């Protein structure tokens, strides 16, 4: 949440900062701002709302001269989205400028102390406190790095900071604790950013900073310090993916681009991990002895990643015969779950920085459980902290509503399932081979869910139903997990009230909400449960619901006897079917969102990575 960027070099800074912010807008879009050292003063421009407002205000950056500065795109936590609460924040006497991603937990106490010391505040933010605290120490020591160190030592909470001092031209300081921050090396110029896409146009050589790191840099030099303030070497990594991965490349929105990238992404997750017909997880260290003694698996995550966990329960339990409990990270961290050495905790997170998920990981480690993270963002906090990590390798996902990250997380669940089941001998060789064979074709089958015919059909149904006020998604077994994800997609980007239920649960309460015209999306792909779900469909139709059916090709004729509106997807092995079933639901949410004139990629009130509790 919130994106920060910093540039220090010889080029005009503002256009570079705006360009960087445009790649970080997915992290928050309540306001944006830049501060550039211009003619010896810290010049600030900031505007409430989307980056486009700021862009227009400063003529794409041309209006502010100066060759170094910091920029910020905000997801509001402390204080409403407004010009005054926007970053960068300048300290009272105008000597220090700060951009911040994270939360300062003790800011009220610090603010009160600073007010007593004569500092004045203008915003409601915690960040303005940081700027003033640094300035307070700067006034005392006349030493910028020392002032930063002293101030940071007093901060409680999480922060990635970019800091400028008016009295020390050509120098920038950045600090990281529990919020992501990278340093980018250029030729005669250097960068900081919350995420790689912000600076990838200018450099591929980056350092993922560690917690507690401070970087002091000019355009030609850089010094790294660790949490103890000792000078350290940080070895740069070369980014091997292309900037086009983080651009729309002709698509209208990132979401539809990412939906269409799913075949490639899923293939990229699966195929390097299948060798000679067997799953090979080089990345994990789960021995046969450990797995044979395993008593329980928790799957801990938030949002869509949690729904992958809900699907994982059906998939892992069926194949491995080990109890699996999916649990929301925000609950897990305070629920005192029973766990120990014989518990495996799977942590799922696209961003690798979700606050609740990270805290849950720490809780699991504290109790001696083994942690295995499924993460997309390389070098992220969760990836670094877990005992083992399996990267999904989906490439950057920019749309706030996840699609390809969800699909690749699910692919990792299949791989882990096969790996464990084989190790502990709960799967027959014939079944194992049947799944491997289908896994290797999964990308092609996902492509068949994205044909122009299917897209046109879904667009047609979206036109029929986009005005509904309420929607219900019903299904059984893995279809129920897919309903949760399909329902979240619809509410998230189309702002339609939507609920997902196990189809058999309807008559225990929710059916009272069904009335003439209520939309029910019924997902029925599980062979043995098809008829059961159809009975539930008949029950809601009898009460006036409009039903959209999602099923597999083999059931198409049958389902049409009950429901006229149907989308069918190819059939695959039952364990892998959710990877195909989800696609029409993603497309449905996308088209409904467009028809309702919503901001598909940046839905209201949300941000891509949720780094606050």
- What positions carry a catalytic annotation? 2, 608
Minimum CB separation of residue 375 from ligand AGP in Å reads: 8
Rounded Cα distance, 43 and 90, in Å: 10
- For the bound state, the minimum distance from the C-beta of residue 586 to ligand AGP, rounded and expressed in Å, comes to 10
Rank residues 349 and 477 by Cβ distance to ligand AGP and give the closer one. 349
Is 171 or 611 the residue whose CB approaches ligand AGP more closely?
A: 611
Whole-Å CA distances, 574 to 123, 527, 552: 55, 8, 11
578-595 helix and 452-465 helix, angle to the nearest 10 degrees: 50
Minimum Å distance from CB 512 to ligand AGP? 28
* CB nearer ligand AGP, residue 42 or residue 193: 193
Q: Which helix (H) or strand (E) is 175 found in, with range? A: strand 172-177
Closer to ligand AGP by CB, 350 or 477: give it.
Answer: 350
Give the distance, in angstroms, between the CA of residue 276 and the centroid of all CA atoms in the same chain: 33
Strand order in the sheet with 370-375: 324-328, 296-301, 343-349, 370-375, 388-391
CA distance 135 to 129: 10
Q: Are 343 and 277 in contact (CB under 8 A)?
A: no
How far apart CA 365 and CA 97 sit, in angstroms, is 38
Q: How far is the CB of 604 from ligand AGP (least distance, A)?
A: 13
Task: Please give the residues from 201 up to 240 whose contact with ligand AGP meets the rule CB under 6 A.
Answer: none
Dihedral pair phi/psi, residue 537, rounded to 5°: -60, -45
Q: Nearest CA to 331 among 351, 311, 349, 306? A: 306
Least distance in Å: CB of 584 to ligand AGP? 16
| 303 near ligand AGP (CB under 6 A) | yes
Residue closer to ligand AGP by CB (options 330, 572) is 330
- Binder of ligand AGP out of 77, 179, 402, 593 (CB under 6 A): 402
- Binding part of the chain for ligand AGP, among 163-171, 399-407, 413-421, 513-521 by CB under 6 A, reads 399-407
Of residues 268 and 303, the one with the C-beta less far from ligand AGP:
303
Region binding ligand AGP by CB under 6 A among candidate stretches 76-84, 263-271, 315-323, 400-408: 400-408
The site for ligand AGP, by CB under 6 A, has a size of 15
CB atoms near residue 368 (< 10 Å): 11
Site membership for ligand AGP, residue 392 (CB under 6 A): no
Identify the residue among 132, 262, 609, 611 touching ligand AGP (CB under 6 A): 609
Alpha-carbon Rg for the chain, nearest whole angstrom, is: 25
Task: For residue 498, state whether it binds ligand AGP (rule: CB under 6 A).
Answer: no
Binding segment for ligand AGP among 110-118, 259-267, 310-318, 396-404 (CB under 6 A)? 396-404
Among 45, 401, 537, 592, binds ligand AGP (CB under 6 A): 401
Residue from 128, 438, 492, 546 touching ligand AGP (CB under 6 A): that is 492
Q: Would you state the structure tokens that stand for residue 173, as one six-digit string?
A: 């300081």
Q: Which residue has the tokens 């190790």?
A: 423
| Distance from C-alpha of 594 to C-alpha of 385, rounded to nearest angstrom | 39
Q: How far is the CB of 373 from ligand AGP (least distance, A)?
A: 10
The least distance separating ligand AGP from the CB of residue 72, rounded to whole angstroms, comes to: 21
Give the integer Cα–Cα distance in Å for 269 and 259: 15
Q: Supply the minimum distance, in Å, between the C-beta of residue 486 and ligand AGP.
A: 11
Per CB under 6 A, 610 contacts ligand AGP: yes
Report in angstroms how near the CB of residue 265 gets to ligand AGP at its nearest.
15
The distance of closest approach from Cβ of residue 353 to ligand AGP in the complex, given in angstroms and rounded to an integer, is 7
CA distance 229 to 206: 21
- Which single residue brings its beta carbon nearest to ligand AGP? 303
What is the Cα–Cα distance from 137 to 123, expressed in whole angstroms? 20
Rounded to whole angstroms, the Cα distance separating 303 from 114 reads 39
Minimum distance of ligand AGP from residue 525's CB (angstroms): 22
Stretch touching ligand AGP by CB under 6 A, among 159-167, 248-256, 296-304, 309-317: 296-304
DSSP per-residue string spanning 206-272: EEEPPTT-EEEE-SS-EEEE-TTS-EE----EE--S-GGGGS-TT-SSHHHHHHHTHHHHHHHHHGG
Distance, in Å, from the CA atom of 555 to the CA atom of 528, rounded to the nearest integer, reads: 12
d(CA 341, CA 244): 43
Crossing angle (nearest 10°) for helices 127-141 and 144-152: 130
What separation in angstroms does the CA of 608 have from each of 23, 315, 347, 376, 413? 12, 27, 18, 13, 22
The residue (of 402 and 533) whose beta carbon lies closer to ligand AGP is: 402
Q: Per-residue string for binding with ligand AGP, 252-291, x by CB under 6 A?
A: ----------------------------------------
Residue whose CB is less far from ligand AGP, 14 or 609: 609
Question: Cβ closer to ligand AGP: 305 or 533?
Answer: 305
**Binding of ligand AGP at residue 611 (CB under 6 A)?**
no
Q: Which two tokens stand for residue 262?
A: 């799913």
Of positions 47, 163, 302, 471, contacts ligand AGP by CB under 6 A: 302
Query: Residues 356-375: x/- map of binding to ligand AGP (CB under 6 A)?
Result: -x------------------
Q: Which two tokens stand for residue 299?
A: 């799957």
Contact in structure between 257 and 248 (CB atoms under 8 Å) = yes
| CB of 216 or CB of 446, closer to ligand AGP | 446
Burial of 205 from C-beta contacts in 10 A (0-12 / 13-18 / 19+)? middle
214 vs 196: CA distance, rounded Å: 18
d(CA 66, CA 530): 66
Stretch that binds ligand AGP, among 81-89, 268-276, 397-405, 581-589 (CB under 6 A): 397-405
CB atoms within 10 A of CB 169: 13
Which whole-number Å values give the CA distances from 211 to 98, 225, 227, in the listed order?
19, 11, 7
Written as six digits, the tokens of 401 are: 């509503």
Nearer to ligand AGP, 67 or 304 (CB): 304
Q: How far is the CB of 41 from ligand AGP (least distance, A)?
A: 39
Residue from 98, 369, 400, 410 touching ligand AGP (CB under 6 A): that is 400
Q: Which of residues 323-362 bind ligand AGP (CB under 6 A)?
A: 349-351, 354, 357
Site string for ligand AGP, 433-472 (x = CB under 6 A): ----------------------------------------
Interface stretch with ligand AGP, choices 39-47, 395-403, 436-444, 534-542 (CB under 6 A) = 395-403
Chain residues in the site for ligand AGP (CB under 6 A) = 302-305, 349-351, 354, 357, 400-402, 492, 609-610
């Amino acid at each position: 949440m919130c994106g920060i960027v910093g540039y220090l070099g010889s080029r005009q800074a503002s256009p570079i900062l705006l360009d960087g912010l445009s790649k970080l807008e997915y992290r928050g879009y309540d306001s944006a701002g830049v501060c550039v050292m211009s003619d010896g003063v810290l010049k600030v421009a900031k505007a409430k709302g989307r980056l486009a407002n700021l862009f227009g205000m400063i003529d794409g950056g041309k209006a502010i001269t100066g060759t170094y500065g910091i920029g910020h795109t905000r997801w509001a936590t402390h204080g409403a989205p407004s010009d005054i609460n926007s970053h960068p924040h300048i300290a009272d006497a105008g000597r220090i400028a700060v951009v911040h991603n994270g939360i300062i937990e003790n800011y009220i106490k610090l603010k009160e102390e600073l007010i007593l010391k004569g500092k004045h505040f203008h915003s409601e933010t915690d960040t303005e406190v940081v700027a003033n605290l640094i300035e307070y120490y700067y006034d005392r020591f006349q030493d910028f790095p020392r002032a930063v160190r002293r101030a940071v030592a007093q901060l409680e909470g999480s922060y990635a900071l970019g800091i400028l001092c008016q009295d020390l031209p050509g120098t920038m300081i950045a600090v990281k604790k529990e919020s992501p921050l990278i340093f980018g090396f250029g030729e005669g110029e250097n960068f900081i950013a919350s995420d790689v896409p912000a600076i990838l146009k200018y450099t591929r050589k980056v350092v993922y900073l560690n917690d507690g790191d401070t970087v002091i840099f000019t355009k030609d030099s850089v010094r790294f310090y660790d949490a103890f303030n000792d000078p350290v070497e940080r070895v740069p990594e070369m980014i091997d993916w292309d900037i086009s991965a983080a651009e729309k490349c002709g698509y209208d929105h990132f979401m539809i681009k990412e939906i269409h990238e799913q075949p490639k992404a899923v293939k990229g997750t699966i195929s390097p991990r299948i060798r000679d017909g067997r799953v090979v997880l080089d990345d994990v260290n789960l021995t046969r002895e450990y797995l044979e003694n395993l008593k329980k698996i928790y799957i801990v995550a938030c949002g869509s990643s949690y729904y992958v966990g809900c699907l994982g329960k059906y998939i892992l339990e069926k194949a491995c015969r080990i109890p699996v409990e999916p649990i929301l990270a925000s609950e897990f961290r305070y629920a005192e779950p029973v766990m120990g050495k014989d518990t495996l905790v799977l942590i799922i997170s696209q961003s690798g920085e979700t606050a609740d998920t990270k805290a849950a990981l720490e809780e699991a480690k504290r109790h001696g459980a083994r942690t295995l993270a499924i993460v997309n963002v390389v070098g992220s906090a969760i990836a670094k902290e877990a005992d083992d990590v399996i990267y999904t390798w989906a490439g950057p996902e920019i749309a706030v509503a996840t699609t390809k990250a969800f699909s690749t997380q699910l692919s990792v669940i299949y791989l882990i399932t096969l790996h464990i089941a084989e190790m502990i001998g709960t799967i027959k060789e014939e079944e194992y081979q049947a799944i491997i064979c289908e896994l290797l074709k999964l990308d092609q089958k996902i492509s068949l869910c994205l044909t122009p015919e299917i897209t046109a059909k879904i667009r047609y149904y979206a036109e029929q139903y986009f005005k509904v006020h309420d929607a219900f998604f019903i299904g059984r077994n893995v279809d129920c997990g897919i309903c949760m994800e399909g329902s979240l997609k619809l509410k998230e980007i189309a702002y339609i009230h939507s609920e997902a239920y196990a189809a058999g649960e309807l008559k225990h309460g929710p059916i009272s909400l069904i009335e003439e015209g209520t939309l029910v999306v019924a997902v029925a792909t599980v062979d043995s449960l098809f008829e059961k779900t159809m009975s539930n469909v008949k029950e809601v139709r009898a009460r006036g619901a409009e039903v959209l059916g999602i099923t597999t090709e083999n059931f198409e004729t049958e389902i049409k006897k009950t429901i006229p509106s149907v989308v069918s997807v190819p059939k695959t092995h039952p364990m892998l079917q959710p990877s195909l079933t989800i696609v029409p639901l993603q497309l449905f949410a996308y088209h409904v969102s467009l028809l309702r004139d919503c901001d598909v990629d940046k839905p209201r009130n949300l941000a891509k990575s949720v780094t606050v509790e």
